[in-house]
Structures are given as C-alpha cells and as structure tokens.
Structure 1
Amino acid sequence: MPALLPTPAPPRAGFSLTELLAVVAILGVVALIALPRAGDTRREGLRAACHVYRCEIEVQASLWLRAQGAWPAADLADVGADPAYFPEGLPLCPVDGTAYTIDGSGEVVGHDH
C-alpha cells in the first residue's frame, strides 16, 4: 500500500493582520524620516530665492548708479517704479515677505537668512 502524501494547503486569499500591521509600521517609520527633510528643503529654497533677489537688486542698483549718477532711494521706490529695471515690480523677500532696502553703497540691508 503506497504512503499517503499530505495534501498541500489551499492558497491564501489575502494578507494576515500581522503582515498588514508590519507594512503600516514600516511606512510610518519612512514617513517620519522623509517629512522633516521635505520641510528643510522648502526653507532652503526660500533662502536661496532671497539670496538671488538680493543679488538682483544690488545689480540693478549699480546699473541705476551708472545711468543716473546717484544710488537709488533706500526704499528702492525710484528704481522700482522704472520698468526698465524691475519689469515685474520689486520683489519681496520670500522668507518673511518684507520689502528690501539698500544702504548708501547699494548693498541690500538685512535679509541674512
């Protein structure tokens, strides 16, 4: 008489609760690692944009000096009103939303983010 082999178990229809909990826990750990880095990236982008705006303002102030013979007003009202220098208007600081100002040498004051 031949030996009876065990019959294979029928295939499972889904995942067990333990498997689902393990996947949710792993996804939670990944989210805890990734989310703070995404916030840092945004802040660094805003700081970089502020630096670009500062440089652009200083270049335009230098061009104003060359054309007009004097530095623009400290609040940049005169150079900001001329569309040849800022066609889209004076930029605001993307970090804190404040207006840029310059000192007597054409350098942007503050905004050292």
Structure 2
Amino acid sequence: MPAAVGTIETLGFPAVLAAADAMVKAGSVTLVYYGLAESGQFIVSVRGRVSEVKIAVAAGIEAGEAAYGGQVITHYIIPNPTENVEDVLPIEYTAKVERFRE
C-alpha cells in the first residue's frame, strides 16, 4: 500500500519530542525516523495514508511550536514516494517499527 511521508524539522529536542508525540496521537501514522540534523536541529518522520499524514503533521507543527522554546524550522509531506526515494532515504518501515503499523 502506498504511504505518504511527513517530516518536521525543529530547533531543540523538546520541540521534536512534542511534535513526534502529537503526530502519532493525532493520526494513524507510524514513526519511521528520528535524527539530529545539525546545530540542535532535529528531524522526525512518519508514514501512513496521505490524509492521516496531513493531520499528523499539522498536529506536530502546532505541538512543536507550543513546546517551551520550541521552533518548527520546516516541514514537508511527500504523498506516495517512489521506490527510488524509499531505497535511498531512511523512510522505510523497518522491523523495529513494523509492529506499530496498522
């Protein structure tokens, strides 16, 4: 089943934690990636149906901005990425997150 990817980049850990928490609670999505971008910037990515990812990213942006000192730097949604993108970027469903999928 094709699944969209939603990514949020924040400044500071509290904002990315709040964003990730809000994303998985707001929509039927699976957290597939978390990482440090640079200079205190963090990235979190989720996968799921396009409509669910849109809801989750909107909730994540709101929560990230509401976190103490939180700042959402950027966000992006890619509906139905091609296999080429999935092979190169760390957005695939891994065995570690497989149990959280629908």
What TM-score range do you get, normalising by the shorter chain?
under 0.3
Give the structure with the higher percent strand: 2
> What TM-score does the superposition give when structure 1 sets the normalisation length?
0.24
Q: Which has the higher contact order (CA 8 A, sep 6+)?
A: 2
